[in-house]
Structure 1
Amino acid sequence: MNRIEQAFANGKAFIPFITAGDPSMEITEQLVLRMAEAGADLIELGIPFSDPVAEGQVIQDASARALSGGISVDEIFGMVKRIRKVCDVAMAFMTYANVIFSYGADRFMKNCSEAGVDAIIIPDLPFEEKDEFMPYCLKYGVHLISMIAPTSENRIHMIAREARGFVYCVSSLGVTGVRQDISDDAREMIRLVKEVNEIPCAVGFGISTPEQASRMAEFSDGIIVGSAIVKIVEQYGSECVPHVARYVRMMKDAVRVGG
């Protein structure tokens, strides 16, 4: 069983997102270790990018802070290698196609494999263009995570048939960010995925409260939370680690209740 499978093997998964390098690489490393201890099943690490089109203001600002600190992709790979010496939590990179193109797709996926990155999420990569990166993902054993949204409609079966690792179900239209109300559109999306593939389905975009997490966990295999955690990082800066760990523990408990 690989680490992605393991993340979904013990009930409903809780998947936190943070931006690498915000507020510093040292704190990011601590956050990953403490979130894993607090119950995170899979950790999504955002590679900062100057034009993160899928992100709301909170994560845009986090990317800007990380980039202003001079963060590099090689530094992030180095950090993951250090984490892998002491922690076996599943990890996925979230970044944009241009970052991988600029780095070199073969080199990027090779480094993912060598560092211990299990999956890659590329929100600006249309399903029809996945072959730009899929050969390199297959070559090095890195899952390219498929995303579906309420607008995917008649394409969901097609995307689901070829999905690997897990399916990222975007709960609502628009960019990432905390929302007061989250629709149940994801319930129908997941039903359509499961018609053709029994792959795990995790729901993200907008979830921030235990109540929301518990409700979404009733019909999904995992919950992804980003902006709410990045807000805590922004609020507490270098003192954020215990606050994030407390939040992760609370949300993991809520996901267990929903499951």
Structure 2
Amino acid sequence: MNKISAQFKGKKPLVTYISGGDPSLEMTEKLIYRLQAEGADIIELGIPFSDPLADGPVIQEASQRALRGGTTLKKLIAKIDQIQNQVEVPLILMGYYNSVLNYGEEEFAYDIAEAGISGVIIPDLPADEKAELSRYLARSGVSQIMLVTPNTSEQRLKKITAKSSGFLYCVAHLGTTGDDQQGVYPELENYLERVRNSAGELPLGLGFGIDGPEKVKKIIDYPDGIIIGSALIKQIQAGDKEKEMLDNAGEFVRSIKKAIN
């Protein structure tokens, strides 16, 4: 069992997403410590990118702030490497394939493994492409977490679940991250049951549009874990100063954990 899958044993973990380098790498480090202390079970770090197509305005703006602050993928990995001994929960990088391609696939897989990163999510990389990257990640012991949506066909679902490790990222609605107006997919129970038939023992994490504890309470029976990103970033950005931003993050995570439990 890898470090990510272990977080799904005996509980429904909370996976939190923040944009790496927003507004600085130093703040990212402090947020990681605070999220971990407040009960986040897995932490996703977004790789800043100029055109994050799958993300809504909240994460797009966070990515732009990180880029303006000088954050690069190399600097983000170096920061994680520097603090890895202080981080007990699994860390996951989430970003777009162009960033990995520019970095160099083999070097990327090796460097993130050395930095203690447990998994990678690349939303724009189809399951039937770039098999060499999958080999590099597997060789380095890094999970490749794939995404499925409510309209993923049975044929593609089998390909995706066969390639995914750690957990399977189930998108709760069609659209971009942070779109809480859509709500979650109305046939959520049937959707996740269909995915579970293909996924077998692979845990199912549910994300996109989950904006707070009330929504978590409504859906918690169906997935194996909850993923929250845009709503957390909104809470962080509502603070004017560093302490307030960290306190907002902590209070929000505590409220979600309470709803899960």
Which residue does the alignment assign to 1:253? 258
Change (3 A) 1:130 1:185: farther
Alignment check: 8 A CA contact 2:144 2:163 kept: no
RMSD of equivalent CA atoms: 1.5
Alignment check: 8 A CA contact 1:167 1:201 kept: yes
Which residue does the alignment assign to 1:175? 176
Q: Count matched residues.
A: 256
Counterpart Cα distance in 1 of 2:46 and 2:221: 27
- Give SS of 1:252's match: helix
- Matched ranges for 1:1-259 at <5 A: 1-154=1-154, 155-180=156-181, 181-196=183-198, 197-236=200-239, 238=242, 239-256=244-261
Report percent identity of matched pairs.
39
Alignment check: 8 A CA contact 1:171 1:184 kept: no
Alignment check: 8 A CA contact 1:168 1:204 kept: yes
Q: Which has the higher contact order (CA 8 A, sep 6+)?
A: 1
Counterpart Cα distance in 2 of 1:97 and 1:158: 19
Alignment check: 8 A CA contact 1:14 1:222 kept: yes
Segments of 4+ moved more than 3 angstroms: none
- Give SS of 2:11's match: coil
After TM superposition, the structure 1 stretch with the greater mean CA deviation from structure 2, 189-198 or 71-80, is: 189-198
TM-score by length of 1: 0.94
After TM superposition, the structure 1 stretch with the greater mean CA deviation from structure 2, 125-134 or 12-21, is: 125-134
Counterpart Cα distance in 1 of 2:143 and 2:121: 9
